[in-house]
């Protein structure tokens, strides 16, 4: 295999479509091959559309319409966002690998539907292979784990909590089911002891570990005929009864209504979590944000305090969501320490919860921790390869800790550089998927097609019809860029090097009279910063100024193509309480209390996600770091002048005291 350094030039179409010929050859190959397939499929059928038919007027005018409308679409599409360019330093949107684009194109000619094997005999298998590859990368045992491709991180996160909720509530359903079936079962408790199921109170039943709950599931199915177990479980499970009836029954049986179960998330968690708790009926009030530290990582001490406080009040914890690669900063939580908190809660408090890592963004960075021979690289080895201080030993430990989570979201359509839609959901113990399984009669695989569980994906997942082309895209990309130091590991390292180079250049940049205040060096590749000017001395004027810079450097202003594209966010209280102090101190425009009291105003922070693997490429590659800094200066000058004009029109001065 060629060295990744050389291979990188062949992985992408290129910022100037330098690999256009290669791309065209591969597209043609895929198309021709598909044409042969059609031609050889029952050739005795003859031709439906004959050459003579193509001479007809109606045909020609239909072709003219098609061609003209396509030209119109192509013209429109050029108003899209140039993710391929080093000038794009905005969201986590990226160029795609040639492999994924060709894989997608080739497969979409066949239009496979990965809901079931009968609609996707090839791509369902590819999807399961991809899931096993991702599982291996995060350290799961591919034999025990299971996963699939989803439309994105939101749906993968949804499934995580959907399944977690079913596992957490299973022991309660099992009590009723076991009584109905007349069987007695026992279950392991978090402290390692065992107890007869029927003797446990509500609190204990809600604090059974993931593994013990799934063992209980197995024991129940072994204890009676399947049809009886299915009926008994349905009679007592939340999924069948719904929250209202479920709570009523619990109140009747246990003398106390079920306290609302909570979900703990890092304060930096993606907004999908709020959607999910609302959609699942858990309720947004039950979403508890755990403060982050000055590196935007979940604070394990704060997590412990929250777990203890909730336990004191008898509030169940359904799940804890740690983030690997936050949306705004690419921060990687100290997952090893989060796991320690859970182990301590189990030991000292008899409390447990489902642990999910939302690695939608950062999961692919785990590729950097693997050698080609399947052994782990040390932090020092990776540092040698990046030539930077990245990663730390702690970062590597956090990545290795993914192996001990109960589930993980990891999105190929983010750091995997493949086309949308391709998220992925992985669970450590494949038995959990059975808790949400539904079997429609028209989609059950027939004998000889393989096991029903594996080949009818729709049985275990939230979505129904889904593109097999997405699976083919990820599969081919993984073939060309393996999930280790030779492929994705190298790619991620390159973007980290780019982000670090940008961070260092911004730190050194002389932008006087402007000053740049940087967030710490990122855990992966998102660089955050705030620009200021001596005349700005209120939070509002500082925010208006940075918002002005963003407007000048964002895509979508009619008729304008910005020199460089960035994005921005707002750090608000209480989410960023633990992180914002150093920024506010350096900016010196307001106190922490004023920032907290500002409500929705928050602090505007500019962001640049470095997805560009060529940012640190030597000439003749363009210097998109110096170019960016100059563009930032021009945008700042322009934004300040405009702010001055606006305020002057209102008879005010720019926060000049």
Applying CB under 6 A, the residues found at the interface with ligand PLP are 92, 152-154, 157, 270, 272, 323, 327, 358, 360-361, 411, 423
CB of 571 vs ligand PLP, minimal distance in Å: 16
Least Å distance, CB 412 to ligand PLP, is 10
- Residue whose C-alpha is closest to residue 539's, from 472, 489, 474, 584: 584
Which is closer to ligand PLP, CB of 360 or CB of 483?
360
Closest to 436 in 3D by CA, of 225, 228, 161, 224: 161
Closest separation between CB of residue 360 and ligand PLP, Å?
A: 3
Contact 243, 249 (CB under 8 A): no
Calculate the alpha carbon distances from 187 to 170, 233, 279 in Å: 12, 17, 31
What is the smallest separation between the CB atom of 144 and ligand PLP, expressed in angstroms? Answer: 25
507 in Cβ contact with 518 (< 8 Å): yes
Give the shortest CB-626-to-ligand PLP separation in angstroms. Answer: 29
Please report how many Cα atoms fall inside a 13 Å half-sphere around the Cα of residue 182, on the Cβ side. 1
Q: What is the DSSP letter of 538?
A: S
> Based on the number of CB atoms within 10 Å of its own CB, is 222 exposed (0-12), middle (13-18) or buried (19 or more)?
exposed
| C-alpha to C-alpha distance for 431 and 406, rounded to whole angstroms | 12
Q: How far is the CB of 328 from ligand PLP (least distance, A)?
A: 8
Are the beta carbons of 166 and 436 closer than 8 angstroms? yes
Check: CB of residue 193 under 8 Å from CB of residue 249: no
CB of 41 vs ligand PLP, minimal distance in Å? 36
Closest CA relative to residue 364, chosen from 427, 328, 414: 414
Closer CB to ligand PLP, 327 or 352, in the complex = 327
Q: Taking the complex as a whole, how short is the minimal distance between the CB of residue 341 and ligand PLP, in angstroms?
A: 20
Burial class from Cβ neighbours inside 10 Å (0-12, 13-18, 19+) for residue 363 reads: buried
Give whichever of 146 and 425 is closer to ligand PLP, judged by the CB atom.
425
Cα–Cα dist 532/515, whole Å: 5
3 state DSSP class of 387: coil
Q: Which is nearer to ligand PLP, 209 or 357 (CB)?
A: 357
> What are 517's strand-pairing partners?
530
Nearer to ligand PLP, 181 or 335 (CB): 335
Which tokens hold the place of 33?
A: 């091959």
Distance CA 513, CA 633 (A): 10
Cis peptide leading into residue 33 (ω within 30°): no
The whole-angstrom separation of Cα 648 and Cα 643 is 8
Q: Shortest gap between Cβ of 357 and ligand PLP (angstroms)?
A: 10
Tokens of 329: 């900063």
Q: Could you give the C-alpha distances from 237 to 175, 228, 240, in angstroms and in order?
A: 10, 14, 6
Q: Kindly tell me which of 414 and 494 has the beta carbon lying closer to ligand PLP.
A: 414
Three-state DSSP at 529 gives strand
The sheet carrying 262-266 orders its strands as 146-150, 423-427, 407-409, 354-358, 317-323, 262-266, 287-290
Assess whether the previous peptide bond of 620 is cis (omega < 30° from 0).
Answer: yes
CB nearer ligand PLP, residue 327 or residue 554: 327
The residue whose two tokens read 């429109």 is 76
Q: Which region, left, alpha or beta, applies to residue 532 given φ > 0 means left and ψ of -120 to 50 means alpha?
A: beta
Here the tokens at position 235 are 């009679």
Round to whole Å and give the CA distance between 296 and 289: 13
Minimum CB separation of residue 324 from ligand PLP in Å reads 8
User: 643-650: which pairs have CB atoms within 8 A and are 24 or more residues apart?
Assistant: 643/541, 643/544, 643/545, 643/548, 647/541
Report, in Å, the least distance between residue 361 CB and ligand PLP: 4
CB closer to ligand PLP out of 209 and 268: 268
Output the smallest distance, CB 332 to ligand PLP, in A: 11
C-beta of 308 vs 555, nearer to ligand PLP: 555
Give whichever of 465 and 646 is closer to ligand PLP, judged by the CB atom.
Answer: 465
Query: Nearest approach, Cβ of 326 to ligand PLP (angstroms)?
Result: 6
CB of residue 631 to ligand PLP, shortest distance in Å: 25
Q: Residue 471, Cα to own-chain centre: how many angstroms?
A: 16
């Amino acid at each position: 295999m060629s060295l990744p350094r050389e291979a990188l030039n062949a992985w992408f179409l290129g910022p100037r479509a330098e690999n256009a010929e290669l791309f065209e050859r591969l597209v043609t190959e895929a198309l021709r091959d598909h044409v042969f397939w059609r031609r050889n499929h029952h050739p005795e059928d003859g031709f439906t559309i004959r050459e003579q038919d193509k001479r007809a007027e109606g045909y020609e005018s239909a072709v003219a319409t098609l061609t003209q409308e396509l030209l119109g679409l192509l013209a429109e599409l050029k108003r899209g966002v140039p993710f391929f360019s080093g000038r794009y330093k905005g969201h986590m949107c990226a160029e795609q690998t040639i492999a994924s684009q060709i894989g997608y194109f080739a497969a979409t000619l066949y239009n496979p539907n990965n809901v079931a094997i009968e609609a996707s005999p090839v791509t369902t298998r590819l999807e399961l292979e991809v899931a096993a590859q991702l599982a291996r990368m995060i350290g799961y045992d591919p034999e025990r784990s299971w996963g699939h491709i989803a439309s994105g991180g939101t749906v993968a996160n949804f499934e995580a909590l959907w399944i977690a909720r079913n596992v957490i509530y299973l022991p309660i359903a099992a009590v009723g089911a076991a009584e109905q079936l007349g069987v007695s079962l026992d279950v392991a408790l978090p402290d390692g002891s065992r107890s007869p199921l029927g003797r446990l109170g509500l609190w204990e039943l809600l604090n059974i570990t993931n593994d013990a709950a799934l063992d209980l599931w197995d024991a129940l199915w072994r204890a009676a005929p399947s049809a009886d177990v299915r009926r008994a479980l349905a009679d007592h499970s939340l999924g069948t009864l719904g929250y209202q009836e479920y709570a009523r029954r619990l109140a009747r049986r246990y003398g106390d209504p079920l306290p609302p179960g909570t979900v703990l998330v890092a304060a930096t968690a993606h907004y999908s979590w709020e959607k999910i708790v609302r959609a699942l009926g858990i309720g947004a009030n039950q979403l508890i944000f755990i403060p982050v530290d000055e590196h935007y990582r979940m604070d394990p001490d704060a997590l412990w305090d929250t777990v203890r406080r909730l336990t004191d009040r008898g509030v169940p914890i359904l799940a804890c969501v740690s983030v690997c690669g936050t949306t705004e900063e690419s921060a990687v939580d100290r997952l090893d320490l989060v796991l320690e908190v859970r182990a301590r809660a189990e030991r000292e408090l008899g409390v447990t919860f489902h642990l999910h890592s939302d690695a939608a963004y950062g999961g692919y960075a785990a590729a950097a921790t693997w050698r080609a021979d399947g052994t782990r690289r040390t932090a020092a080895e990776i540092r040698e390869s990046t030539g930077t201080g990245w990663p730390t030993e702690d970062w590597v430990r956090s990545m290795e800790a993914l192996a001990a989570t109960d589930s993980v979201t990891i999105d190929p359509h983010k750091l995997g550089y493949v086309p949308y839609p391709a998220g992925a959901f992985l669970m450590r113990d494949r038995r959990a998927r059975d808790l949400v399984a539904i079997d429609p009669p028209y989609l059950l695989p027939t004998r000889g097609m393989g096991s029903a569980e594996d080949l009818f994906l729709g049985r275990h997942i939230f979505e129904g019809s889904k593109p097999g082309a997405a699976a083919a895209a990820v599969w081919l990309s993984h073939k060309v860029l393996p999930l280790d130091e030779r492929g994705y590991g190298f790619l991620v390292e390159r973007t980290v090097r780019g982000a670090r180079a940008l961070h260092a250049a911004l730190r050194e940049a002389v932008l006087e009279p402007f000053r740049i205040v940087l967030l710490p060096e990122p855990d992966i590749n998102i660089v955050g910063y705030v620009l200021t000017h001596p005349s700005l001395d209120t939070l509002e004027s500082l925010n208006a100024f940075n918002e002005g810079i963003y407007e000048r450097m964002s895509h979508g202003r009619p008729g304008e193509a910005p020199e460089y594209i960035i994005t921005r966010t707002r750090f608000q209280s209480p989410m960023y309480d633990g992180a914002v102090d150093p920024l506010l101190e350096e900016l010196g425009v307001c106190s922490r209390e004023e920032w907290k009291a500002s409500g929705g105003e928050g602090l505007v922070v500019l962001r640049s996600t470095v997805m560009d693997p060529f940012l640190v490429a030597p000439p003749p590659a363009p210097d998109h770091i110096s170019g960016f800094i100059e563009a930032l200066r021009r945008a700042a000058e322009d934004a300040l002048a405009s702010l001055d004009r606006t305020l002057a029109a209102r008879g005010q001065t720019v926060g000049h005291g």
